[in-house]
Amino acid sequence: MAKLAMKEINAKGGILGRPIELYIEDTASAEATAVANVRKLIQRDKVDVVFGGITSSMRNAIKDVIVTRGRTLYIYPQLYEGKECTPYIFCTGPTPAQQCDEFIPWLMKNGGKRFALPSANYVWPHVLNQYARKVIEGNGGEVIFEEYYPLDQVEYSATVNKIMTNKVDVVFNTVIPPGVGPFFKQLYEAGFTKRGGRLSCVYYDENTLNINAPHEIEGLASCLDYFRAVTKDEPGSARIQAEYDKQFPGNIVFAAGSAATGMYRGLRLWEAAVKEARSVDRDAVAKALDHAKISEGPGGPAEMVPGKRHCKMRMYTAVAKQGTYDIVARSKGLVDPKEC
């Protein structure tokens, strides 16, 4: 998505009369490697802004190298657990408030009030679940259990048994690959959805639907800033989707995951800020980025919340149906991230 946004910007003359250049370094999912490569981007390549990081642990590893020692802007594009309020870091993916405030009441109306929170044991699920629990209990629901498992766990029979014997209505899942596929399969085989249970997962997009056979996750509900079905009545999203499909054909489709939407949104917001500032100076761009807006992006328009360095955006609730998603609810406007 960074390449797509860059190509679109350069096709219209670039920014301030200059084409933008994209430098890519691989973190190799190793913090030491990421720190070294980010340092190269700043010291050798003299970049004006850094995007990426994906996991919160990676963001925390590289942010000081970028904003403090490197005196460079950092745009973090991934959906995440919130609470990143460091100056010069701007977040353009969904936060817990955006993914829970409207979605959990929908789950209670279309699933039930008894929730289980099976989770991978790292920072995002822990903090997201704190927020989700508040929304569940604030709306009259109940968390039957909240458990955390090793990232590589693939056997979930004890968890499935607990869900079934405690008559859980809604599974609010944050187990991740490689465990999520076996977990959902075991839950299906136990008859959870057949007896009326509702499966939900707020990071599940069209690509992750392919982890399981469609019948195993039929009815799974997700809440994200973009689904392909949005393109039916959102012309800007349809244009971006069509351009992506043209430039990058293949099995991996453009979807909300892996920071794709936040990457495009972030680049376009940065473009707007640089144009307003008429400079790439960090302080000038940060001042303009603080209130930047775009009229078109994946899922619709977006805007930064002044003083908060987080992004308002539209949110969508969708349900898995025969291997794809149907949108069943959408926010009335841009949803506040409620951060910082």
Over residues 155-165, the pLDDT tens digits come to: 999 999 999 99
Answer yes or no: is pLDDT of 182 > 90: yes
Mean pLDDT confidence for 44-53: 96
Task: Give pLDDT, residue 29.
Answer: 86
264-293 residue pLDDT tens:
999 999 999 999 999 999 999 999 999 999
What is the chain's mean pLDDT, rounded? 96
- Give the chain's domains with CATH numbers: 2-95+233-313 (3.40.50.2300), 97-229+316-330 (3.40.50.2300)
Task: Give pLDDT, residue 251.
Answer: 82
17-29 residue pLDDT tens:
999 999 999 988 8
Per-position b or e across 251-280, b if 16+ CB within 10 A of its CB: eebbbbbbbbbbbbbbbbbbbbbbeebeeb
CA 58 to chain centre: 15
Q: Hey, what are 202's tokens?
A: 């707020």
Rg for the chain, CA atoms, rounded: 20
Q: Hey, what are 150's tokens?
A: 């090793």
Question: What is the pTM for the complete model shown?
Answer: 0.94
Answer yes or no: is pLDDT of 54 > 90: no
